[in-house]
Chains A and B, each alone.
Chain A
Amino acid sequence: MTSSLRFFTYASPPRFYALAGRLIPWLFGLAGLVGLVGLYVGFFVAPTDATQGQAYRIIFIHVPAAWMSMLLYLVMAGWAAVGWAFNARLASMVARALAPTGTLFTVLALWTGALWGKPTWGAWWVWDARLTSELILLFLYLGYIALVESIDDTRRADYAGALLALVGAVNVPVIYFSVRWWNTLHQGASISMSAAPTMAHTMLSAMLLMTVAFWAYAFAVVFMRTRAIILERERDADWVLALARQRAGAGE
């Protein structure tokens, strides 16, 4: 088995289907466990912020969600491009499965941003650079989903979505650098790679724990959705029919 395990082994839909099915419970468990620890550290252990009081604590959801929203768009564009360039079916399916999760994290980031903005800035919504670019990201996700859903032909939908995601990915660096381009009243990036973190270590660890939890959740949900897409597209394949027969037999 190990000798036949190559780089593309899990690019085959049946193998991926089985592997993902085995991983999903573990990923959900990891997400739940780490998420609980992260929330505990964030809400009960991390110190109160000197200027913002307790209101800042939403950062532990807001910032990881914003990270995930941007990262997932790039990952989606990457898999869509792989699917387009190498005609790899599974890559296209994963890209399709990533879009709703990315949209969810974008909405979450915007929502928690509004909840955070009300007590600190006094407004639910401020037209600052990062909020606006997050909103644009949401529109990009919605455009991608609308495009792939309105094309009936699977191949054309996958490839058209890939092209659109790639064009949109050009926008993601603009999102990042917009922080520097415009003067904003948003506070600077919470974690900078060059300078030492100015936030307390407990705050940082809570945020990183939440990030790990979100990653695990994203993997689990994307795997589940990919499995559904695989079954839908391969419904005429022998292995899917065998699987269905097996399930029906077990149910009786």
Chain B
Amino acid sequence: MSCNGFIALAARDLRLAWRRPVDAWLAVVFFAVAASLFPLGVGPEPQTLRQIGGGVVWVCALLSTLLALNTLYTSDYNDGSLDQMLLSGHSLVLLAAAKALVHWVLTGLPLVVAGPVLGLMFDMSPRGLATLTLTLLLGTPVLSLLGSVGAALTLGLRSGGALLLLLVLPLCIPVLIFGAGAVSAVELGISPAGHLSILGALLLLALVGAPPAAAAALRISVL
């Protein structure tokens, strides 16, 4: 698949999503609902909320990104267009990359926008909010990329949804640790540079490694 094919596929998927905007909204609404549950469970003390804020927002971002994953290939798999894409002779790696990119634009990017708003509800400092946004910007693409591998592996299985979460969640833990760690470092007055560097490294690693892995998984699952 040439560059044109990559753009064409991404544009097609975005157009399809645009015609069914509910799917894209679901992830971000789930994110807001899940994060609002924590103050109700933990209690409204600002001190406590400030301490857990970064971690809570990150955990909810992780869960809502992964919840939207099982739609990644499913509709194309069910109506047979995925078979056509595989048979077309275009590069599967670029196909997987385009799919992951669209998933990130539809679920990751709204979370990057919504993250700071939820952070405000947890009484986070302006610098903390800025760091939170930056870590979400660096971290959510990693989640989409890793998730695309899991989505390709569990394609068409009966227990797909829960299985997908079980497979992908442990792999996402480093992202969570360094994403939430950067936020709490800022809140403690320490430089988050180290955490951000590792997040960037994880992003590069996932960019290089995940699309080929997802392509191999598609080949295993479909062919």
Contacts and interface: CB of A to CB of B under 8 A. Distances in A.
Interface in A166-201: 167-168, 170-171, 174
A153 B188 CA distance: 52
Contact of A143 (B170, B173, B213, B221): B170
A142 B154 CA distance: 15
B169 A147 contact: no
B159 interface: yes
A167 B167 CA distance: 10
B124 to A, nearest CB: 22
Given A147-B153, A163-B213, A163-B220, A136 B173 contact: yes
A159 B170 contact: no
B157 A143 contact: no
Nearest to A129: B177
Interface in B121-150: 149
B217 A160 contact: yes
A237 B199 CA distance: 52
Contact of B149 (A151, A167, A171, A174): A167
Interface of B: 149, 153-154, 157-159, 163, 166-167, 169-171, 173-174, 209, 213, 216-217, 220-221
Given A156-B220, A159-B220, A160-B220, A151 B157 contact: yes
A140 interface: yes
24 contacts: A136-B173, A139-B166, A139-B169, A139-B170, A140-B170, A142-B166, A143-B167, A143-B170, A146-B163, A146-B166, A147-B153, A147-B163, A147-B167, A151-B157, A156-B220, A160-B153, A160-B217, A163-B153, A164-B167, A167-B171, A167-B213, A168-B170, A170-B209, A171-B170
Interface in A29-77: none
A136 B170 contact: yes
A136 B168 CA distance: 11
Interface residues of A, number: 19
Contacts of B154: 147
A140 B166 CA distance: 8
Given A139-B166, A139-B170, A163-B217, A150 B153 contact: no
A131 to B, nearest CB: 13
